[in-house]
C-alpha cells in the first residue's frame, strides 16, 4: 500500500464511502470552526471505515486527514473568492517517476493566462516559456483571460514542463519551437500539393476529398504523426503538446471523413494514453469524453464487433490491439471513479484480449532474418496466431495489395496533376475521371465534363456523348502551360516559348511534350517551329504592349530553385523522426499495457 497509486486507491474508496454515508468532514463533530480537527472523532471514523472498506486503519486515517484538509482549503478558497474575487487554482505538475506535485496559485480570473504562466513559473523556479498549461483537454492561450478560458475558482489544471536535452539547449530549440517549426514545415508541404503528402486508407488507396478540407485534415494528421514520434520515445510531455495541437486542427475540419476513418479515434486514444502515463487523473472528465469519442469512431470505422474490418481485410487481430488498449483505459477511468465492478469487468476483458494478442518474440526474430520488417513480422504473426507460414503468406499478400493500390494511386496523382483548370475551378474526383477513361472517353474532355457537372458521372457521360465539340472548344480555351514543368524542361536546353506551346498542345503531359520537342529536332523542324512561335508571341506582345517573355528570367529561376530547396529541407526536417512503414500504428508491443494491467488488477483485488 506504499505506492502513490495505492494511496490513491485508498482515497478513492474512502471518499466514496464518506459521500455515500453523507459524512461532511468540514463540519461537527469532525471539525470545529476556530479550533480545528477533532482527532478523536477522526480516529473513530477511521476505525469504522477500516472494517467497511477492508483497508488498514493507518491508511484510512491518512486518507481522512487528507480529504478533510482538502475540504477546508476549498472552503477557504471559496470565501476568499467571494470576498476579494481572487481565485485559487491548483496546478498539477506530473512526473512519470514520482507522480508529480500540486502547487497553488491565487489570481483574479480577469487576468490573462500569461499571468498564470508567470506565477506557475515562479513556483517551479523555471522560465514560464518552458511551460504549457492544460485545462479540459485544451492548451491555455496566453493572450486570453482565465475567465474566457473557462477557468474557475478551486479548479485543478495540468502543467507540462518541457525538458530540453543538451543538444536542444545548445541550439535553443525546445518543444514549442519544434511545434511551430513542424507546423510551418507542414504548411509548406501542403501548399506544395501532393508532391510530398497525401492521404491513404489502410490498404494504400488514395482518399480523395476536396482540396480545402484536405489541407485542414492533413495538417492535423501531420502534427499527430509528430506526437506519435514522441510517444515512441516515451516523451509523454512532448507528445501531449503535439497531440493536443493536432486535436485543435481536427476541430476545424468539417469533412465527414472524420466520421468514417479511425484517425480521430486514434488521436483521442493517444491523448488519454498520455494522461494515464503522466498519471494526470485530474484530466479524468476530458479523458472520459475522449474515450467515448474513440469508441464511437471505432465502431463507425471498424464496424460492430470489427465486422467491417473482417470484411475488408479478412482479419482484425491488429485492430483488436487498439480495442484492448481502449478497454484498459476505460477500466482505469472507472477505477478512479470508484466504479469498481465496471472497472473489474473491463480489466478482465482487457487481460483476456492481451493474452490472445501475444506474439512469440523468437518467431518475430525469425521473420526479420528472412527480410521482413519488425512491424510486418509482429502484425503478421498476431493476425495468424503465431503460425509462421501463414504469417509469411499474410505479409506477402499484404505487400502485394499495397503495391497494387499505390500503383493505382500514382496513376491517379498523375491524372490529377495534369487536370485542366476551367473557369469555375471545380475539383475533379480522380477516381471518377479514371472510370470515364476506362469507358474509352478522352481524359481531358472527361475532366472538363466532370468540372461542368460537379463530378456527376451520369451527367458527364451525357455531355461526352452529346456535346463533345463544345467540350473541346472549352478545353482549347482553358489549357494553360504548367510553368513548373516548363522550367524543368527548359533545363534540357529547349526554348521556353516553344516548351509552353508544346505543353499546351499536350495538355501538360511532360513525357509527350519532351517527345514532341525531340522529334522536332530529329526531323529538322525545330528552328522553323520556334520562329513561328516567337513571331506569334511578338505579335501578341505588341498588341497587349507587354514585354517579351520568350526567355526565362534568371532571378525567377533562382527564386524557384531556392523555393524547391526550402521545400525539400522542410520535408527532411518534418520526416526525420517519423515512421513511414505501413500500419506502424497497429504494431503495439503491449508491454506498457501489461504493466498497467498488473498494477490495476492488484489494486482492484485489494
CATH code at position 448: 1.10.8
Determine, yes or no, domain membership for 429. Answer: yes
- Element (DSSP H or E) covering residue 101: strand 101-108
pLDDT of residue 83: 95
Same domain, 427 and 502: no
Q: Is residue 129 part of a domain?
A: yes
Single out the residue in 265, 282, 299 at which a domain terminates: 282
Q: What is the pLDDT of residue 474?
A: 76
For residue range 188-228, what is the model confidence (pLDDT) as tens digits?
A: 666 555 444 555 555 545 555 666 666 777 778 888 888 98
Mean pLDDT of the region 510-532: 84
Are both 112 and 207 inside the same structural domain?
no
Q: Is residue 436 part of a domain?
A: yes
Asked if residue 291 belongs to a domain, the reply is no
Nine-digit cell at 411? 496513376
pLDDT at 436: 82
Kindly state whether residue 410 falls inside one of the protein's structural domains. Answer: no
Q: State the virtual CA torsion across 250, 253, 257, 262 in degrees, nearest 10.
A: 10
**213 in a structural domain:** yes
Question: Are 240 and 189 in the same domain?
Answer: yes
The per-residue pLDDT for 405 is 62
Report pLDDT for 505: 75
| pTM of the entire predicted model | 0.69
Host domain of residue 501: 495-589
CB 197 within 8 A of CB 211: no
Strand partners, 138: 135
Q: Do residues 450 and 503 both lie within one domain?
A: no
Quick one: 38 and 126 in the same domain? Answer: no
82-96, 314-328, 380-394, 478-492: lowest mean pLDDT where? Answer: 478-492
pLDDT band at 257 (very low <50, low <70, confident <90, very high): low
pLDDT of residue 258: 65
Which residue blocks in 57-141 are alpha helix, DSSP H?
57-84, 113-124
- 462 lies in the same domain as 504: no
- Same-domain check for residues 155 and 175: no
- How far apart (Å, rounded) are the C-alpha atoms in residues 149 and 245? 16
Residue 4 lies in a domain: yes
Q: Which of 282, 297, 323 is the last residue of a domain?
A: 282
User: Is the per-residue pLDDT at 558 higher than 60?
Assistant: no
Range picked from 51-55, 175-179, 484-488 for highest mean pLDDT: 51-55
**Amino acid 552: pLDDT:** 45
Say what the pLDDT of residue 420 is.
Answer: 46
- Would you place residue 351 in the very low, low, confident or very high pLDDT band (cuts 50, 70, 90)? very high
Q: Which residues are registered as beta bridge partners of 133?
A: 159
Number of structural domains in the chain: 5
Is 49 within the bounds of a domain? yes
Q: What are phi and psi of 120, to 5 degrees?
A: -65, -40
Same structural domain for residues 64 and 105? no
Statement to judge: residues 172 and 273 lie in one domain: yes
Q: Are residues 187 and 235 in the same domain?
A: yes
Q: Bigger pLDDT: 316 or 417? A: 316
Mean pLDDT check: name the lowest of 140-149, 203-212, 385-394, 550-559: 550-559
Q: Is the dihedral of CA 486, 487, 489, 492 positive or negative?
A: positive
The per-residue pLDDT for 350 is 94
User: What integer is the mean pLDDT of 520-537?
Assistant: 80
149 and 234 assigned to the same domain? no
pLDDT average, residue stretch 53-63? 89
Query: Are residue 499 and residue 584 in the same domain, yes or no?
Result: yes
Helices (H), 205-251: 211-232, 236-250
Model confidence at 551: pLDDT above 90: no
Residue 272 confidence (pLDDT):
95
Residue 413: the pLDDT is 52
The residue-averaged pLDDT of 365-381 equals 89
pLDDT for residue 513: 86
Kindly state the average pLDDT of the residues 399-428.
Answer: 57
Q: What is the pLDDT of residue 375?
A: 87
Q: Give kind and range of the element (H or E) at residue 159.
A: strand 155-161
Q: Are 595 and 602 contacting, i.e. CB atoms less than 8 angstroms apart? A: no
Least confident of 197-211, 475-489, 502-516: 197-211
Exposed, middle or buried, 398 (CB in 10 Å: 0-12/13-18/19+)? buried
Judged against a pLDDT cut of 80, whether residue 554 lies above it is answered with no
User: At which of 106, 140, 161 does a domain end?
Assistant: 161
Amino acid at each position: 500500500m506504499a505506492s502513490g497509486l495505492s494511496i490513491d486507491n485508498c482515497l478513492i474508496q474512502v471518499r466514496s464511502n464518506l459521500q455515500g454515508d453523507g459524512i461532511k468532514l468540514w463540519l461537527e463533530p469532525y471539525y470545529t470552526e476556530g479550533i480545528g480537527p477533532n482527532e478523536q472523532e477522526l480516529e473513530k471514523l477511521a476505525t469504522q471505515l477500516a472494517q467497511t472498506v477492508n483497508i488498514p486503519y493507518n491508511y484510512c486515517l491518512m486518507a481522512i486527514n487528507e480529504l478533510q484538509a482538502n475540504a477546508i482549503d476549498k472552503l477557504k478558497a471559496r470565501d476568499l473568492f467571494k470576498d476579494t474575487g481572487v481565485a485559487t487554482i491548483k496546478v498539477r505538475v506530473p512526473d512519470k517517476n514520482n507522480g508529480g506535485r500540486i502547487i497553488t496559485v491565487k489570481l483574479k480570473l480577469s487576468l490573462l493566462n500569461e499571468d498564470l504562466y508567470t506565477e506557475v513559473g515562479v513556483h517551479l523556479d523555471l522560465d514560464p516559456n518552458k511551460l504549457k498549461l492544460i485545462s479540459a483537454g485544451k492548451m491555455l492561450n496566453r493572450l486570453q483571460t482565465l475567465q474566457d478560458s473557462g477557468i474557475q475558482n478551486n479548479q485543478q489544471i495540468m502543467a507540462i514542463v518541457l525538458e530540453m536535452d543538451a543538444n536542444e539547449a545548445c541550439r535553443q530549440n525546445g518543444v514549442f519551437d519544434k511545434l511551430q517549426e513542424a507546423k510551418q514545415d507542414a504548411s509548406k508541404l501542403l501548399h506544395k500539393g501532393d508532391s510530398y503528402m497525401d492521404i491513404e486508407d489502410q490498404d494504400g488507396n488514395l482518399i480523395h476529398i476536396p482540396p480545402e478540407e484536405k489541407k485542414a485534415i492533413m495538417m492535423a494528421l501531420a502534427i499527430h504523426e509528430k506526437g506519435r514520434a514522441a510517444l515512441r520515445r516515451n516523451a509523454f510531455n512532448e507528445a501531449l503538446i503535439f497531440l493536443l495541437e493536432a486535436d485543435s486542427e481536427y476541430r476545424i475540419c468539417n469533412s465527414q471523413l472524420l466520421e468514417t476513418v479511425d484517425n480521430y479515434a486514434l488521436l483521442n486514444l493517444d491523448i488519454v494514453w498520455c494522461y494515464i502515463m503522466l498519471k494526470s487523473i485530474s484530466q479524468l472528465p476530458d479523458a472520459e469524453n475522449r474515450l467515448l469519442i474513440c469508441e464511437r469512431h471505432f465502431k463507425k470505422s471498424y464496424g460492430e464487433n470489427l465486422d467491417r474490418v473482417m470484411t475488408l481485410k479478412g482479419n482484425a487481430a491488429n485492430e483488436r490491439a487498439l480495442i484492448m488498449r481502449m478497454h484498459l483505459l476505460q477500466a482505469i477511468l472507472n477505477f478512479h471513479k470508484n466504479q469498481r465492478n465496471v472497472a473489474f469487468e473491463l480489466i478482465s476483458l482487457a487481460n483476456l484480449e492481451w493474452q490472445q494478442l501475444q506474439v512469440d518474440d523468437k518467431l518475430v526474430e525469425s521473420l526479420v532474418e528472412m527480410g521482413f520488417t519488425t512491424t510486418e513480422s509482429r502484425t503478421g504473426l498476431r493476425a495468424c496466431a503465431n503460425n509462421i507460414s501463414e504469417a509469411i503468406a499474410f505479409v506477402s499478400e499484404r505487400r502485394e495489395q499495397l503495391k497494387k493500390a499505390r500503383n493505382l494511386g500514382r496513376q491517379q496523382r498523375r491524372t490529377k496533376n495534369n487536370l485542366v483548370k476551367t473557369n469555375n475551378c471545380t475539383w475533379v474526383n480522380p477516381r471518377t475521371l479514371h472510370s470515364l477513361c476506362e469507358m474509352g472517353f478522352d481524359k481531358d474532355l472527361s475532366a472538363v465534363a466532370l468540372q461542368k457537372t460537379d463530378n456527376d458521372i451520369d451527367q458527364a457521360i451525357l455531355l461526352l456523348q452529346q456535346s463533345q465539340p463544345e467540350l473541346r472548344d472549352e478545353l482549347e480555351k482553358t489549357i494553360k502551360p504548367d510553368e513548373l514543368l516548363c522550367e524543368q524542361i527548359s533545363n534540357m536546353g529547349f526554348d521556353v516559348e516553344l516548351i509552353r506551346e508544346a505543353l499546351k498542345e499536350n495538355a501538360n503531359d511532360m513525357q509527350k511534350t519532351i517527345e514532341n520537342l525531340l522529334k522536332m529536332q530529329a526531323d529538322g523542324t525545330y528552328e522553323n517551329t520556334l520562329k513561328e512561335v516567337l513571331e506569334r508571341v511578338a505579335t501578341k506582345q505588341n498588341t497587349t504592349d507587354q514585354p517579351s517573355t520568350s526567355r526565362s528570367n534568371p532571378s525567377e529561376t533562382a527564386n524557384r530553385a531556392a523555393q524547391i530547396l526550402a521545400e525539400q529541407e522542410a520535408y527532411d526536417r518534418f520526416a526525420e523522426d517519423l515512421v513511414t512503414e505501413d500500419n506502424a500504428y497497429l504494431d503495439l508491443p503491449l508491454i506498457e499495457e501489461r504493466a498497467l494491467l498488473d498494477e490495476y488488477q492488484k489494486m482492484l483485488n485489494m
